[in-house]
Amino acid sequence: MPTLAIVGAGPGMGLAIARTFGSHGFDVALIARTRQKLETLVAQLGQEGITAAAFPADVLDRPSLVDALEAAEAHFGGIDVLEYSPAPHSPVPGITLAAPSEVTVDNLQPMIEYGFYGAVAAARVVLPAMRAAGAGTLLFTTGGGSVDPVPMFGNANAAQAALRNWVINLNKELAGSGVHAAHVAINVWIGEDGPEGGPRATPEQIASLYWDLHEHRERSEAVFNA
């Protein structure tokens, strides 16, 4: 069975992406900070006939992230698709938002560590085996501000734009190798509790885009708009 690894798995987008790939015959490795949350997701997917397993790790603790991905590879016999989308829905120490004029090295660095360096570390674990096999997909998620910046997210947008640039460049390097890298920018509020009148979408509506990028490999990025 092919395997999808989700870094930043949660009950919203992570679960929806897991269900989407699981419905196409994928096993799922779920990676996030909290084992209890992951085990709940594993149970939910199991009830739906999708094989999943939990591998706790913190993207800010890169050795733990590497260990989790290597454990997932050993457990499932490899990783065919990596999806990276951690989002600090609960407070993450050191991470605060800043407008562009308020950005400092101190408030930008944690955003880069969380959103960019973690993605690079994750890719470096799975990429060698994908290259050797001549097949694989690397998917990386940011907010829409990586493409069209929003002032209140000045430091987050800068870090996410760096990730976007690297992913598109990585895909150029991988051309002809059988491995595909793509960036997804989500330019809507996810779920029903967003700002009144703002664009929104359900996780399930967005998740189909990830399968499309995996199946149709001509694109290195996609923006989800309402």
Q: Quick check: helix, strand or coil at residue 224?
A: strand
Residues 6+ apart with CB under 8 A from 58: 33, 64, 65
pTM value? 0.93
| Count of Cβ atoms closer than 10 Å to residue 33 Cβ | 19
**Is the pLDDT at 218 greater than 60, yes or no?**
yes
Percent of the chain with pLDDT over 70: 92
- How confident is the model at residue 95, as a pLDDT? 85
Mean pLDDT to the nearest integer, 20-37:
96
Range 183-210 burial, b when 16+ CB lie within 10 A, else e:
bbbbbbebeeeeeeeeeebebeebbebb
145 against 137, higher pLDDT: 137
For all residues of the chain together, what is the average pLDDT?
A: 92
Residue with tokens 């308020």: 102
